Chains A and B, each alone.
Chain A
Amino acid sequence: MVQSCIDSASRLFQPSTDTFNVLESPRDDQIQEPPPEPIDVLVDIIIGCLEKGTAFMRAVGIRSFSLLSGVVKDTTINLILSVSVSTTGFSSILNNIHSNWNVGTLGNFLLTPTKKATRVMMGIWKAAAIATGCPPLGLRAAQVMSHKMRMRNSRASQKFPRQMGVSPWVKRLMKRLRGNSMMIR
């Protein structure tokens, strides 16, 4: 775990890994498949921290996620959602996504119209579309978007009455995302 954290740290801050590697860890055996995005690995570690459940690890995980949320990518959101699928149980999440509450909730967290926020929001829509599977991606995203607009208009939904199935730490991470996007403006 520490090893992967170190690796991804050095990759995150050093885009051209070929030229110079401080930690001399070139792994020759995996040339074929591209390594995961460093931010994905880091967020993965953070999720591990949150699941561990000591107050210390949770505080560290949440804080470092809010610091790192500036570099979050589509795949990262994907990862967060997929982990939440595996932890909350398939049926409940399926339910959620079919009724679009989950997506609406996530989207609504990012109402501030910022460049970063829109980018991240697109990531969420895309991820949600992938998670639901069947319909083509664009159509699905459009559906989600229109649903989201509807949700914004209706009063009741703004209080998120039904947040079932979203595990607590996903909520926490999403809150951090929103906080960051507001801060950066």
Chain B
Amino acid sequence: MRIYTLKKTIDNSLRARSDNQGIDARRSWIIEQFAALIRKGTIPKSDEWVQVILEWFIVHGTFTIKKKSQKSSISAVCIPPFPIKVWLSQLGTQIHSVPSPPYSDHLRRQCRERLLGCLADLTRLSIVTKMAEKAQRFTGIALDGQLWLSRVAEIIRKLEKDSKHVALLSELDEDDRGKLEQACGTVAWLRKVRPRFVLRVFSSEIFECQVSGDQREQADGVELLLQSFIIQFYIEDSSEGRDTASLEVRCLFSH
């Protein structure tokens, strides 16, 4: 319900003024608010609403919504279930329709920037869970043990397949596409080689947990790098150019 309240705020503010400039300003304000919610360390995070915000950033930053869907699992594309929908439409919100006027390029870039900023924050963020005797600290992952970056990459890829309802703003060329698929393949392969442990299962045997945890760590580290590249493929503006040239020089330089 809290999520819908968030979205209600958005749409309410859209209703307040109808001229384009006012809408842009309000949308921009909302983007900042969302980013601030994630950045602020004192706000207790739950996976649910963090994911909703990330989805919202992704959908509005890298996709255009063609049509809202009843069944989509992505909240920003999904039409809410019946009672909430009625409640929201009484408030006169836009939640069941495609946002109009569409988001401007400036706002989209802002969404993308904030998304990367939020991911940086979430990657640094650690959660402390109480195990049998001692508290253990995990950094950069959601409660189910998945990296936040992996989750975002998954959402993007899921949305990309749903071409009926959303469309990717910038098409990738074949070269990038090939690299992307290869990177995704490697991530899947890594997971097969170093199976993922669910956080809750860790607690029982300390010795075993440490050994497997150590190997797992390295796989996580590599996966983090790969996922960041994947996300960059989608998110970075092609006009700004991916600054890979200097990195390639560096790679060659290593012995």
Q: Which residues of A contact B (CB under 8 A)?
A: 1-6, 9-10, 12-14, 22-23, 36, 40-42, 44-49, 51-52, 54-60, 63-68, 70-71, 75, 79, 184
Report the minimum CB–CB distance from A176 to chain B (whole Å): 11
Q: Which of B4-12, B43-51, B54-62, B211-219 contacts A (4 or more CB under 8 A)?
A: B211-219
Provide the residues of chain B in CB contact with A36, threshold 8 Å: 254-255
Provide the residues of chain B in CB contact with A3, threshold 8 Å: 179, 182
B202 interface residue (CB < 8 Å to A): no
Contact with A along B176-214 (1 / 0, CB 8 A): 000100110110011001100000000000000010001
Report the minimum CB–CB distance from B66 to chain A (whole Å): 28
Given A14-B193, A23-B186, A60-B228, A68 contacting B218 (CB threshold 8 A): yes
Provide the residues of chain A in CB contact with B222, threshold 8 Å: 5, 9, 12-13, 42, 64, 68
Please pick, from B210, B221, B226, the residue contacting A67 in the complex, using a CB distance under 8 A: B221
Is A55's CB under 8 angstroms from B185's CB?
Answer: no
In the complex the two chains form, what is the Cα distance from A64 to B182 in whole Å? 20
Is B224's CB under 8 angstroms from A64's CB?
Answer: yes
Closest to B182 in A: A6
Provide the residues of chain A in CB contact with B250, threshold 8 Å: 44-45, 47-48
In the complex the two chains form, what is the Cα distance from A174 to B109 in whole Å? 35
Is A44's CB under 8 angstroms from B254's CB?
Answer: yes
In the complex the two chains form, what is the Cα distance from A75 to B255 in whole Å? 10
Provide the residues of chain A in CB contact with B103, threshold 8 Å: none
Given A55-B117, A67-B217, A67-B218, A48 contacting B246 (CB threshold 8 A): yes
Given A60-B149, A67-B220, A1 contacting B247 (CB threshold 8 A): yes
Provide the residues of chain B in CB contact with A54, threshold 8 Å: 116
Report the minimum CB–CB distance from A47 to chain B (whole Å): 7
In the complex the two chains form, what is the Cα distance from A56 to B235 in whole Å? 12
B124 interface residue (CB < 8 Å to A): yes
Determine which residue in B217, B220, B221, B244 has the highest number of CB atoms from chain A within 10 A of its CB, and name it.
B221
Closest to A76 in B: B254
In the complex the two chains form, what is the Cα distance from A6 to B248 in whole Å? 14
Is B179's CB under 8 angstroms from A56's CB?
Answer: no
Closest to B179 in A: A2
Is A56's CB under 8 angstroms from B221's CB?
Answer: no
B119 interface residue (CB < 8 Å to A): yes
Q: Which 7 A-B pairs have the closest CB atoms?
A: A67-B221, A59-B120, A48-B247, A68-B221, A56-B116, A64-B221, A64-B224
Provide the residues of chain B in CB contact with A44, threshold 8 Å: 250-251, 253-254
Closest to B225 in A: A64
Provide the residues of chain A in CB contact with B186, threshold 8 Å: 6, 9-10, 22-23
Report the minimum CB–CB distance from A54 to chain B (whole Å): 7
In the complex the two chains form, what is the Cα distance from A51 to B246 in whole Å? 10
Is A5's CB under 8 angstroms from B139's CB?
Answer: no
In the assembled complex, 15 residue pairs joining A and B whose CB atoms fall closer than 8 Å, in A order, are A2-B226, A5-B183, A6-B186, A9-B190, A13-B194, A23-B182, A45-B250, A48-B246, A55-B117, A60-B149, A64-B224, A67-B217, A67-B218, A67-B220, A68-B217
